[in-house]
Amino acid sequence: MTASTSAAGGREPDTRGDGYEPDPQRWRALWVTLVAGFMSLLDVTIVAVALPTVQQDLHASPAQVQWVVSGYALTFALALVTAGRLGDALDRRRIFLLALGGFVVFSAACGAAPDITLLVAARLAQGLAAGFMAPQNSALIQQMFRGAERGRAFGFFGATVGISSAAGPITGGAILALASGDQGWRWIFYVNVPIGILAVLLGRRLLPRTERSGRGRVDLPGVLLLGLGVLALMCPLVLAESGGIERLWWLFPAGAALLTVFTWWQRRLVARGAQPLLDPRLFTTVRGYAIGAGIGTLYFVGFSGVWLVFALFYQRGLDFSPLRSGLAVTPFALGSASAAVVSGRLVERYGRLLTVCGLAGVIAGLGGTALLLRLAPLDLAPWVAAPVLFLGGVGGGLVVSPNITMTLRDVPVRMAGAAGGALQTGQRLGAALGTAALPGLFYLVLGRAGDYRGALVTALGAALAGMAASLALAVFDWRRDRRRKPHRTCPDEVANAPVHARHT
């Protein structure tokens, strides 16, 4: 057993027996990955506030301009698992830097696009680069940190996820306010360029290299099956505003069938001793992974959609500017950021209980916000709702970071990229479902009753239903942990366990 140096300068035993020696630059390297992750996740939502300007400036149709947002989300999700597997097999640092460089180039291409066709093409490529970058973030944290330090690092990562999702509308609104004129929307993309270049330069100096696993062959049939399955599930969702769900509903059962075949193929590869794209033993032998992935997916169904609903309510119902609309939901982002950093220090002590408390806080905060926005005078509604929305943000900060930590903490480092990619794929699918369903429900109620407040309350109620399902899973896992003796999966158990093995 080797010894390692902790962040405080003391000696920390290598309890995992994998020869871990802490990199002295690991905390500075972490900030490079967080900045890159923040940019890639921010670009999911930041563009939404600029769509009317983009449509007017480029003379695009509503269906064309929708692809500026949905195309990015689609290619982002498609790349995640394959990118994670490549990072595990090859070099996470190299793939991260190449993907980050591509993200910078395609961001510049988006900003310079002369027409809607080239803008959509650049956004598709930008989303692909982001998808290759994202799983390396969580995998590098797995690689660089252990024990309580890993919880702290994932705390910062969770804060990044929460802030980037909630800060998109206000950031986009601020950029549009500063860059006035019909061409101001281009700076939403250009702002990534100098930040990304700096991150690439720092990443070359600070990020650790990954030892090749010796298993560089990629499961191409698995890539094809998983890619087609995810594509089939997401296409109707990302095209929901143009009637995609009604026209392409048959892709849902087709996608489910493809993913079923994918699962069968992965199990067959494991039984033959070959290397799968996504090892199914992650879900059967790694404690907490399967249920943590379920919690995250259900949470993002509600979490991702509420920001579009708030934007519709404030901008169309109350005639707020994009910037003022973004400021109205800032309390949630502030609460989420502060709680996520703290929760990273507490997760080793309280475990799944943090997630339970966090989900209860989000439900209480968003439910209270819906009630206040329904009853309070319209001119005072954002101010009255701010404290309760802050409470919801604090709850959100106790969800994302601890859940990521508990889902990935027992994953072997050699499988960290694929595991992180699969976790984020579930979150992207949940986010696509939420961003399609909640605004659709908002418009449905608005069209029937013409009541913006009623439409808001109904859509938020649907979001809370998804979060309540996530809470039920978290309570189940917490109660199960209390009943059984604490145990963590050894990294070598996954490699040697039979496919059907499960912890009981």
- For position 282, what pLDDT does the model report? 78
Number of H helices, E strands in the chain: 21, 2
Q: How far is CA 415 from CA 20, 205, 220, 405, 461, in A?
A: 16, 25, 18, 15, 38
Dist. CA 143–CA 393, nearest whole Å: 29
pLDDT tens readout for residues 37-58: 888 888 877 887 777 788 888 8
Q: Give tens-digit pLDDT for 411-445.
A: 887 777 778 878 877 887 787 778 777 887 888 88
Report which DSSP code applies to 413. Answer: G
For residue 486, what are the contacts with CB-CB under 8 A and spacing of at least 6?
none
Map tokens 């970058």 to a residue. 133
Distance CA(203)–CA(459), nearest Å, equals 41
Residue 5, Ramachandran bin (φ over 0: left; ψ between -120 and 50: alpha; else beta): beta
The residue type found at 50 is A
Supply the pLDDT for residue 106: 95
- What letter would DSSP give residue 208? P
Q: Provide the 8-state DSSP code for 377.
A: -
pLDDT for the residue 357:
94
Give pLDDT tens digits for 292-329: 889 988 998 888 778 878 878 888 888 887 778 778 88
* Nearest-5° Cα angle at 249, 243 to 254: 145
User: What distance in Å separates the CA atoms of residue 33 and residue 136, rounded to the nearest whole number?
Assistant: 8
CA distance 119 to 185: 12
* CATH, range 23-209+277-496: 1.20.1250.20
Which one-letter amino acid corresponds to residue 318? Answer: L
* Tens place of pLDDT per residue across the chain (504 aa): 333 333 333 333 343 445 567 778 889 999 999 998 888 888 877 887 777 788 888 888 877 787 887 788 888 888 888 888 888 777 889 999 999 999 999 999 999 999 999 999 999 999 999 989 988 888 888 888 877 788 788 778 877 876 776 677 778 878 887 876 677 889 999 999 999 999 999 999 999 876 655 455 677 888 888 888 888 887 787 776 667 777 888 888 998 999 899 889 888 888 887 778 777 887 888 888 889 889 988 998 888 778 878 878 888 888 887 778 778 888 888 888 788 778 877 877 888 899 999 999 999 999 999 999 888 887 787 888 889 999 998 998 888 878 888 888 778 877 777 788 788 778 877 877 787 778 878 888 887 778 888 889 998 999 999 899 999 999 998 888 777 655 444 444 444 444 444 443
Per the CB < 8 A criterion, the answer to whether 70 and 51 are in contact is no
How many other β-carbons are positioned within 10 Å of the β-carbon of residue 37?
21
pLDDT at 216: 53
d(CA 274, CA 89): 13
pLDDT of residue 492: 43
| The dihedral sign for the CA sequence 69, 70, 73, 75 | negative
CA separation for the pair 290, 283 (Å, rounded):
5
